Structure 1
């Protein structure tokens, strides 16, 4: 499987959703929609997103 790396192209904010989608072979839009829904309905996921933004390295 691919490594968990935030892509420089195709990302909207930080590339976390794109990295997760690419790593597991999922659709980027689906991961983004699920992330937005999780942030709206469970505020803790915003902190998880920010933490992943810091932890996951960017390519290049």
Structure 2
């Protein structure tokens, strides 16, 4: 079965976006969370990216 990008139900803090990305790319979700925090502090794009991912990435079943 092909890998699919989904928001995580088990590894989540808010919506499971970082957990799902971490599972998909096989990296620690904490790294993705840190990158989003840095992007947010550098101009606010992290919040926009997170919200877009929340809307666009379906939740795992």
- TM-score of the pair, normalised by structure 2: 0.85
Q: Answer 1 or 2: higher relative contact order, Cα 8 Å, separation at least 6.
A: 1
Tell me, what secondary structure is at the counterpart of 1:36? helix
Residue aligning to 1:20: 21
Supply the RMSD in Å over aligned alpha carbons: 1.3
Aligned residues: 60
Q: Distance in 2 between matches of 1:2 and 1:34?
A: 23
Show structure 1 runs of 4+ deviating over 6 A.
Answer: none
Give, in whole Å, the separation in 2 of the partners of 1:40 and 1:27: 21
TM-score scaled by length of structure 1: 0.86
Corresponding position of 1:40? 41
**Unaligned segments of structure 1, at least 5 residues:** none
